[in-house]
Structure 1
Amino acid sequence: MIDLDAIGSGLPVAGHARELRDALAGRRMVVQAPPGTGKTTFVPPLVASTVPGRVVVTQPRRIAARAAARRLAALTGTRAGEYAAHTVRGESTLTPGTRVEFVTTGVLIQRLLRDPELAGVDAVILDEVHERHLDADLAVAMVCELAELRDDLTVAAMSATLDAAMWAGLLGAGSTGDGEPAPVVEVGSVLHPLEIRWAPAAGSATDARGVRRAFIDHVVAQTVQAFWDTGGGALVFMPGAREVDAVVAGLKGLPELAGTDVMALYGRMDSHSQDAALRPTEKPRIVVATSVAESSLTVPGVRLVIDSGLSREPRLDRGRQMTGLVTVRESKASATQRAGRAARLGPGVAVRCLRHEDWAGMDAESPPEAEHADLVGPLLTLACWGSPRGQGMRLPGALPPDRVAGAEEELRGLGALDADGRVTPRGREFSQIPADPRLARALLDSGEIGSRAAAEVVAMLASDERAPDGDLVALLRTLRSGRHPGSRGWRRQARRLEGLVPHVPGRRTTADAQVGTVVALAHPGWIARSRGGRGDGGGGYLLVSGTGADLPRGSALAGQEWLAVAETSRVAGHGSGAVIRAAVPIDEGLARAAAAGLETTEDRAVWRSGRIAGRRVHRLGAVTLTSTPVKPSRAASRSAVVAALREEGMGIDGHGVFTWSRNALELRRRLGLLHRVLGDPWPGMDEETLASRAEEWLGPELDALARGRGAGGASMTTALRRLLPWPAAVRIDELVPEAVVVPTGSHIRLEYPEVGSDLAPVLAVKLQECFGWTDGPTVCDGRVKVVLHLLSPARRPLAVTDDLASFWVNAYPGVRAENRGRYIKHPWPEDPLTASPQRGTKRSGR
C-alpha cells in the first residue's frame, strides 16, 4: 500500500490533495504549480490511487523521466519498476507490475502510433506542457482525441506557468469544441524571501563565434563571490554544454572552493553523472547546468542561483531552410523560474548577469517550438495518426503553413507521403523506427553496407554524442571500441534498430564508407561540394540544397572535394552564416547515388557579356557537375533575354541590356509625361512596366538577341514607338512637342522631366528672344505650363518663371538693372512688351 501522506510530506502540492481528487472525478484536470512545489512527485501516485491501470507521465527530457521515476521509487521504498519506472529511448525499467511510468513525450507518441487505444493505460499525465515542445503539443492533441473514444481514460496536464486556462480549454473542449473547460487546480508558490542582484559583464556576452570567454570568466567570478556571501548550494545556469564545461573547469581547483563539489548537469551526460548532481549531499556544492534544471528537475540544497541570462534555442533560418541552435537572451518566464530555485528551502539570492534595464526588453515567454522547429518528423506523425497537417486536432497552436508545405515536400521526396499529404506504406515503415524519418530512410536503404553497420551509424547520429572536431568516423570507431562513455547505450540502441529492419549481411566496407552512406542517404540535400572543386584547400562548400556553408577554421576535413554533412549550425557574421559541425568525406559516385532524385541535365541559355550563350548543365541539386557549350533553343534564348532585362535592367541608366540614344531617352520622358497627365491610353514608362511588356514592344530586338546578335544595333526609339496608342499616337508631337518656336522664330528643344518626377518641362531660352511674349508655352493640351529658364547672352540663368506676363512687370526691371552694364552690346529695353525680340547684339539687329 502506497502512503500518499509520506510521499507528499513537505510538498506544497500535497495540501491540495482533496481538490485534486475532486477535479479527477471528471477525468480531466489541469494543475498549475510553479517548479519545486512537488507536482511531478505527488500528482502521479495520487492519480494512480484513483484508477486500476497504469499511469503514464510524460517528461520533456530523458534526464527528467529518469530522475522522477527514481525519486518516486525511493519515496515508496520500492525497486525500479515495482511501482515507478521510466522508459526513454533505448532504456526502460518497466515491468508488468509498474503503476506509474515516466516517459518522454516521444516515447508516448510512438506508443500511440503502435497502439492508438493505449491498452493497459488508464491515465495520462502531460507534465511541463508550458515548455511548448513540439512533441508535447502533438501528444496533447493525440491524447485528447483518444480520450474522446475512451471514457475511462483520465487525462491531466501540468504547467509551471500562468497558462492553465488554455490547457483547460483544450482538455475540456470535446469533439465539437463546445465542452466545458477542465477544472484547474492552482498550487501557489511557497517561496522564502528572494534577493535579486544584477551583475552585468563588461561588454557583450556573445560575439559571432558564440559565448565570449570573457563572459564565462565573469560568471565564474560572480559564482565564487556570491557562493561565500550566501552559503548553501549554488546552481549556475549556462546556455549549453560547452559553456557548462567551461564554467566547471574555471571553478574547479580554485583555492577559494577547496572542499566544494563542482558538478555539471546537462542532457547528454551519462546517467551516473546526472544522478550524482541530483543526489543530496552534505558537502558544499555548485552545480552548473543548462535549462534542464529550470523546471523539470529539482537540484537539492540550492540557496544561490547564478543566471547567465542566456538560453540556447532552435531557430529556423528561413533563407537557408536550416534549423540550428542559437544563443539568445532568455525570456522573463525562464529568468523567473531560474531565480525561484534559490528560495525553496529558505531565503535565497539570485544573481543575474545582465543589466537591470535589460529586463524591460526581454520576451515574456519563450516562443513555442512549433514556430521554428523542423516539421518533417511531426508531420509524418500526424499523417500516420490520420490527421494530415493536424487538421481538426486540438493543437495548442497552429503549425506555420509555409513550413508545413516545405516539410511535406521533403516527405514526399522520401516517399513517405502522397500528393494529398496522406501517409504511404513506406511512411508507415519510417514511423515504426524510433528516429527522424530521414535516418529511418537511411536505415532501410543502406543495404549495401549491411543492416548492422547501418543501425550502428543511425544510432550514433540519433544519439546526443558529439563528434570530436566534427569527425563522425572517429566517433563511430570510439563507440565501437567500448572506450566511449556512451558506448553501452549506443550499442543497445543499435541492436534495437537492427531488429526493426530485415537482416542484410552487406559487404565489407570501411567505417568511412558506412558513415558516408548513411549520412548521404539521410540528408541528400546536405551533400556538399567544395566551391573550389578538386584540390581546393579552403573551407567553403555549396550544399546540394543551394545553401553555402563553411568548415570551422583548422578542420581536418578541409580540402575534401565532397562531404556528406550531418550537422550544421548558424553563426552570425561567419562567412556564409552556416558552419558544418559534423560531416564525413565521400566521393562523387556516392553523392550522386544518394541524391539521384536531385540529379538533372538541362540546356540553358544565359545572358553573358552582352550576348546569349548556351550551356548544357549537369547538376546535382544546386551543385554543377559539368557545364559545356551548346546552341540554345530559340525559346530558351528569348526567355533568357527577358530574364536579363529584369535582372540587369533595360539600360536606361546606362547599365543594362540595351543602349539608349538621346532621342530614345527623350521620347521615353515625353511619353512618361503624357501617361502622368493624361493616363490611358498612353503607356507607363517606368522600367518595371517596360520590362513586363517587353514582348509587346521589343519583339524584333528580342528575336535578334535570341539569334546571338549583340544589343548595340537596336534602336530603342523605334521600339518605343510600337507602344504608341492608335489613333491617339498621331497627336504626340502636338501634345508633347520636341521643340517650341519662340518669338524670334528659333526652334528650341524642350527638356522633359524624368519618368516618375512631378516636375514640368523646361525651356531654356535667352531672355532677349522672348521680348513681347506674354503667354508662355504649354503642353498636354494646355494642362501643363512649361517652365522658362531665362538666360543671359552668355547663357547663364537669370530667372525662372512659368508666368511671363508677371515676370515682365515685376521681375524684369531688377534683372535689367543688374545686367545692362554687364552685357552692353545686347538690348535691355525699358518696355520689353513692345520691344522686338532679338537673337544677337543690338548692332546685328537679329
Structure 2
Amino acid sequence: MSTFDLERIGRGLPFEQALPALAEALAASGAAVVQAPPGTGKTTLVPPAVAGADGVSGRVVVTQPRRVAARSAARRLAALTGTGTGELVGYSVRGDSRVGRDTRVEFVTPGVLVRRLIADPDLPGVGAVVLDEVHERDVESDLAFALLCEVRELRDDLPVVAMSATVEADRFARLLAGAPVVDVPAVAHPLEVRYAPPPVPRLDARGVTDGFLDHVAAVTADEVRASGVDALVFLPGVREIERVVRALGARLDGGAEVLPLHGGLEPAAQDRAVSGRASGSRAADDPPGGTRPRIVVSTDLAESSLTVPGVRLVVDACLSREPRRDTARDMTGLVTVSASRDSCVQRAGRAARLGPGLAVRCLTEQEYAVLPAHRTAAIATSDLTTLALDVACWGAPRGQGLALPDPPPDGEIARAEKVLRGLGAVDADGRATDRGRALARVPADPRHARALLDGAEIVGAGVAAEVVALLSSGRRSPGGDLTADLRALRARRAPDAATWEREARRLDRMVRGRAGGAGTAGMTADDAVGTIVALAHPDRVARRRGDQYTFASGTGAVLAPGSALAGHDWLAVAEVGRAAGRAAGEAGAVIRSAAPLDREGAERAASHLLDDDETAVFDRGAVTGRRIRRLGAIELSSTPVRPSPAAAREAVAAAIRAGGFAALGPDDDSVRLWCRLGLARRELGAPWPEVSADGLSERLDDWLAPEIDALVHGSRLAGRDLGPALRRLLPWPEAGRFDELVPDRLEVPSSSSYRVDYPAVGADDPPVLAVKLQECFGWTTSPRICDGRVPVTVHLLSPAGRPLAVTRDLGFFWREAYPAVRAEMRGRYPRHPWPEDPMTAEPTRRTNRRR
C-alpha cells in the first residue's frame, strides 16, 4: 500500500515539529484534538500522518466545511505527493467525486460524512477520520463530531482527530473522551494592524451600504498601489464581492488581477483564486516584464478552511453573514452582522503566513473592541430540519444523548420536527419512518428531497430534478420569479447555468427509476415549477388577500414593488425575507422568490393541511356557525350552518376569555350579582367560586349549559337576567348564607335600605354605600360585611345627593368633621335638620317641616 513521504510534504511547515506529539496521542488514546492557527500546515500534514500511524489500514476520511476547501486541500496534497487527484489523494463533495481504489486520503464535506455514517455507522473501509476546522461550528460539522463520538464506543479501532484554529480545543477534547490536545503555536511573523474607518455607515436597513463597499475598494486599491503585494479582501456575501471586484477593476485599470472567491462560483473559477503561482511566474494577461499583484475578494471561505497563497495584505470589512431564525414569521435567512473578534484575528493572520504582513480593518479601533468575542454556533440560529431528520434516522430524536458541542434549541428542534411530521418523515415520538429514511438518502434538505421524489411522479423526473436543483442552488432570484429563472437556466442565459445543469443531471439520475417519470399529462413546464416549490414548502403555499399573501402556515408577506408575480391569486413561495419600511407591509416580510400556482396544485402539495372545520362565533348575544374548509390558515370556503353544542360552547368560552362576563351582554342585576360573587371569592376564598373570565370560561358547563343549548336553537343572551345562571355556581350548603355575607342592600338608621356598590371582579376597591347624611344620625359604627371582615366605605351625601364626605369610621366623622360640614351646609339647606349633636338626633329622610 502506498505511503506518504512526510518529510517531503511537511518541509517548511510549522506543524512538522508537532508530528511526534500527534503520533504519541494517537498511540495512547486513539484520538487527538489539534489546535493550530491557519497556515501552520495542519490540513496538509495531519491526514497523511494519520494514514501512516500504527494500526491504520483503511482510508483516512478528512472533512472540510466547504466543497471548494475539500477540492483545494485534496489537490494540494496530491501535488505534494507527486500524484494526480483521485489516486493517492482524492475528494468527494456533492455532485463531484474523484477517488480511486488506491486512495488513502479522501477529503469530504461534513454532509457527505454524515450521510455515510447514517447509512452504515461501521464506516467500512475507513481506517480513521479527521475533522478539520471544527471551530467553524456549522451544523453538519457539529453533528459529524457527535456521531463519531458514539461510533468510537463501538469501533475502538477508529482513530478520530478533531482540528481547530481557536482556543475551543479543550472543549472538544472533553467531548472526545478526554483526548490529548496537540497545540502548535502560530508562526511569529510580524503583523501590522491598521484601522481605516469609513466616512459612511457600514450597514443600514437593507444591508451593507454601497458607500462602505466603495470605501473598502478604495482602501484596497491604495494599499496595493503602495506595496505591490498580493491581497485578500474579506466581505460577507456575493453581492458585496461583485461590487468591490468591479470597483477595483475600475480603480486599478488593469494594474492588478482581481478575482472573486465564493461558494457560488464554478469550480474552475474557485480553483483559479486559490491556486496561486510560483514566484516570478506570469499570468497569461500579465504585462511584459513583470507580474501584476493578485487581489482575491472572498467571503469567509478564506478565513481558515482555505488558503490563498502569496497574500501579504488583508483588507477586512469585519462583517459576516450568519443564519438567523425569525420564529414570528417562520423564516430562516442569512443576516449580515459584525464579525467576531476571533474571526478578524484569523483573517488578519493570513497576511503574515510567509513573512511580515499588513491587515487593514475597515472600522474604528473602538468599534473593533466591542465586537463579539466568538462567532455564534450555527446550531443556535439555523433551520434544523435536516439535523432533526438525521438524528431521528440515527436513533436519537431531537439529538438527545449525542455529544453535540451545543444542544439544539428546544423551540427550533420542535418546529423542525413539526415540519418533518408534515412530510411523514418522523412519527409522534420523533423517530424516523420508512418515508423519512427514504428522504434522508437524498443528499438534500428534506423538503427538497420530498419535492424531488413526489414531484417526479407528478411532473416527471427530469423536470422535478431541474426545479429542485434551482431551489437547492442557494442563488438569489434576480426578479423573484422562479419560472423565469428556470427558463433562463435552460437557455444558458444565467452565469451559473452550467453548475445548475450538472446538479439537475445528478438529481435526475438519483430519482429516475424510483418514479414513473412521465409526469401528469397536460402540465406545462411553467406549471411544474409551482408544483415542485409547493411540494418542497407546503407551509408557504400562499393566497392573495388584497395586497398581501397569506401563507398556509398563518404568516403573511407582500411582493416586492414591480414584481412580475403581481396579480396571481396563488403562489408557491420558496424564499421570504425581512424588509424594512412600507415595502414589507404589515407582515414585515417580502416574498423573495416564488412561482405561480393554482388551487388544485396547492391542495395537492399541502394535502396534509386540508381541514374541514366547523366554527362558531358568539357576538351580540347570539351564536352563528359556519363550516369552513381550510388549507392550513388559508380559508378556501365558508358555509353557514347551525352550530353544534360543542362549537357554541367554545364560542361562548372564547368570548368570555376575551371580554369577561360583560361579553354576554348581562343586565344590571346580573352584573351586580357577579360583582358580589367576586368579592366573596376575594375576601373569603374557596369554596366561593372564581368568577373571573378564566374561571367562568373553565366552568361553563356548570352554570351556563341550559342557556348555551338555547343559543344553539337560535335564542339570544344579550340583555337577559343571568342571575339564576350565576347562582348555579354557589357552593352548597354555603349558598344559604350568601345574601347575608355579601348583601345586595344595607339598612341604615332611617330604616331605609340602599344598594351596596361592589367593585368589579379583580379590582381591590372596597364596597361602597351611598346615603344622605341625615339618615345616618346616631350611627356610630360603620357597617361591615363578610362576617365583619370587610368594612363598607360610606359616602355621605347632601340633601341634593352630592357627596359631602367619605368615611369608614362614622364615629370619627361625627366628632371631627361634622361641625365644619354643619356650618357650611345649614345655610345652604335650611329646611333640613343639622343638629349640634348628631349622635343623639333622630335619623330621617324628611325636611324639618314634614317632620
- The reply to whether residue 42 of structure 1 matches residue 51 of structure 2 is no
RMSD: 3.0
CA shift, 1:196, in A, is 5.2
Equivalent residue runs for 1:638-787 within 5 Å: 638-647=649-658, 649-652=659-662, 656=663, 658-787=664-793
In the alignment, the residues of structure 1 paired with residue 35 and residue 533 of structure 2 have an alpha-carbon distance, to the nearest angstrom, of 43
Instruction: Tell me which moved more, 222-231 or 558-567.
Output: 222-231
8 Å Cα contact 2:542/2:571 also seen in 1: yes
Amino acid at match of 1:480: R
Q: Tell me which residue corresponds to 2:104.
A: 99
Q: Are the counterparts in 1 of residues 32 and 162 from structure 2 also a CA contact under 8 Å?
A: yes
Q: Is the 8 A contact 1:231 1:303 kept in 2?
A: no
State the distance in 2 between where 1:844 and 1:612 align.
58
Partner in structure 1 of residue 625 of structure 2: 614
Matching residue of 1:528: 542
Task: Report the counterpart of residue 17 of structure 1 in structure 2.
Answer: 19
In structure 2, the residue matched to 1:410 is: 419
Q: Check 1:608–1:22 CA distance in 2 against 1; reply closer, same or farther (3 A cut).
A: same
393, 399, 407: which is aligned to 1:384?
393
Which residue of structure 1 lines up, in the alignment, with residue 518 of structure 2?
506
**Residue aligning to 2:272:** 276
Match of 2:530 among 516, 525, 544: 516
Structure 1, 558-567 or 374-383: larger mean CA deviation: 374-383
Given the two structures, how large is their TM-score scaled by the length of structure 1?
A: 0.89
Q: How does 1:305-704 map to 2 (within 5 A)?
A: 305-344=314-353, 345-353=355-363, 356=366, 359-360=369-370, 362-445=371-454, 446-503=456-513, 504-506=516-518, 510-532=524-546, 538=547, 540-571=548-579, 574-575=584-585, 576-607=587-618, 610-647=621-658, 649-652=659-662, 656=663, 658-704=664-710
Which residue is 1:177 aligned to? none
Contact preservation (8 Å) 1:313, 1:327: yes
CA 1:220/1:839 → structure 2, altered by over 3 Å: closer, same or farther? farther
Identity fraction in percent: 54
Aligned counterparts of 2:797 and 2:751: Cα–Cα separation in 1: 17
Q: Deviations over 1:453-509 (max 9, x none)?
A: 322332332223443312223333333334544333333333333333344451675
C-alpha deviation, 1:559, in angstroms: 1.0
Return closer, same or farther for 1:429/1:738 CA change in 2, 3 Å cut-off.
closer
CA contact (8 A) 1:638 1:705 kept: no
Structure 1 segment 47-62 matched on structure 2, within 5 A: 47-50=50-53, 51-62=56-67
Corresponding position: 1:109 with 2:120: no
Show the counterpart of 2:251: 254
Q: Which amino acid aligns with 1:568?
A: V
Give the TM-score normalised by structure 2. Answer: 0.89
What whole-Å deviation, never above 9, does each CA across 1:74-111 have from its counterpart, x for those lacking one?
A: 43443322333222111122223333221111111223
Matches for 1:825-836 after TM superposition, within 5 Å: 826-836=832-842
Specify the SS of the correspondent of 1:500: helix
What displacement does 1:774 show?
1.5
Structure 2: gaps (5+ residues): 278-290
| Separation in structure 2 between the aligned mates of residue 411 and residue 404 of structure 1, nearest angstrom | 10
CA deviations 1:59-84 (Å, max 9, x no partner) are 11112112222332343443322333
Contact kept, 8 Å, 1:54 with 1:122, in 2: the verdict is yes
Match of 1:72, as an amino acid?
L
Distance 1:844 1:212, change over 3 A: farther
CA contact (8 A) 1:308 1:354 kept: no
- How much does 1:317 deviate? 2.7
DSSP 3-state at the match of 1:499: helix
Q: Is the Cα contact below 8 Å between 1:239 and 1:290 reproduced in 2?
A: yes
| 1:330 to partner: Cα distance | 3.2
Please give the alpha-carbon distance, in whole angstroms, between the structure 1 residues aligned to 2:51 and 2:18. Answer: 16
User: 1:198–1:356: 8 Å Cα contact kept in structure 2?
Assistant: no
User: Within 1, Cα distance between the matches of 2:618 and 2:820?
Assistant: 59
For 1:806 and 1:641, the matched residues in 2 are separated by 49
State the secondary structure of the residue aligned to 1:580: strand
2:89 pairs with 1:84: yes
Distance 1:331 1:703, change over 3 A: farther
Would the alpha carbon gap of residues 840 and 334 (structure 1) be closer, same or farther in structure 2, given more than 3 Å must change?
Answer: farther
**What is the CA distance between 1:333 and its match in structure 2?**
3.2
The Cα shift of 1:19 comes to: 1.6
Cα distance in 2 for partners of 1:338, 1:822 equals 91
**Equivalence for 2:235:** 238
**Counterpart code for 2:468:** V
Q: Structure 1 residues 610 and 661 mapped into 2: Cα distance closer, same or farther (>3 Å)?
A: closer
Task: Give the partner amino acid of 1:297.
Answer: L
Query: Taking structure 1 as reference, are residues 286 and 734 closer, same or farther at Cα in structure 2, changes over 3 Å only?
Result: same
Q: Is the 8 A contact 1:838 1:845 kept in 2?
A: no
Q: What letter corresponds to residue 604 of structure 1 in structure 2?
A: T
Q: CA deviation at 1:182?
A: 0.6
The structure-2 alpha-carbon separation of the partners of 1:228 and 1:836, relative to structure 1 and needing over 3 Å to count, comes to farther
1:75 to 73, 80, 83: 80
Opposite residue 8 of structure 1, the aligned amino acid is G
Question: Equivalent residue of 2:839, what SS?
Answer: coil
Matching residue's letter, 1:712 = A
Query: Is the Cα contact below 8 Å between 1:524 and 1:544 reproduced in 2?
Result: yes
The Cα of 1:680 is off from its aligned counterpart by: 1.8
What SS does the aligned partner of 2:510 have?
coil
Count of aligned positions: 823
Aligned counterparts of 1:106 and 1:392: Cα–Cα separation in 2: 21
- C-alpha contact (below 8 Å) 1:236/1:306 kept by paired residues: yes
Matching of residues 797-836 of structure 1 within 5 Å? 797-820=803-826, 823=829, 826-836=832-842
CA contact (8 A) 1:307 1:353 kept: no
Contact residue 664 and residue 716 of structure 1 kept, 8 A: yes
Tell me, what secondary structure is at the counterpart of 1:469?
coil
Structure 2 CA distance for partners of 1:791 and 1:714, relative to 1, 3 Å: closer
SS in 2 for 1:313: strand
Q: CA deviation at 1:163?
A: 1.6
Q: 1:796 to 1:307 in 2, by over 3 A?
A: farther
> Which ranges in structure 1 are unaligned for 5 or more consecutive residues?
173-180, 533-537
Cα deviation per residue 1:261-290 (whole Å; 9 max; x = unaligned)? 443222111223223332436534443322
Q: CA distance change for structure 1 residues 169 and 830 in 2, over 3 Å: closer, same or farther?
A: same
Residue number in structure 1 paired with 2:286? none
Q: Secondary structure at the match of 2:347?
A: helix
Say which SS state the counterpart of residue 97 (structure 1) adopts.
coil
Report deviation, 1:185: 0.9
Give the Å deviation of 1:355: 7.4
The 1:55–1:718 alpha-carbon spacing in structure 2 relative to 1, beyond 3 Å, is same
3-state DSSP of counterpart to 2:511? coil
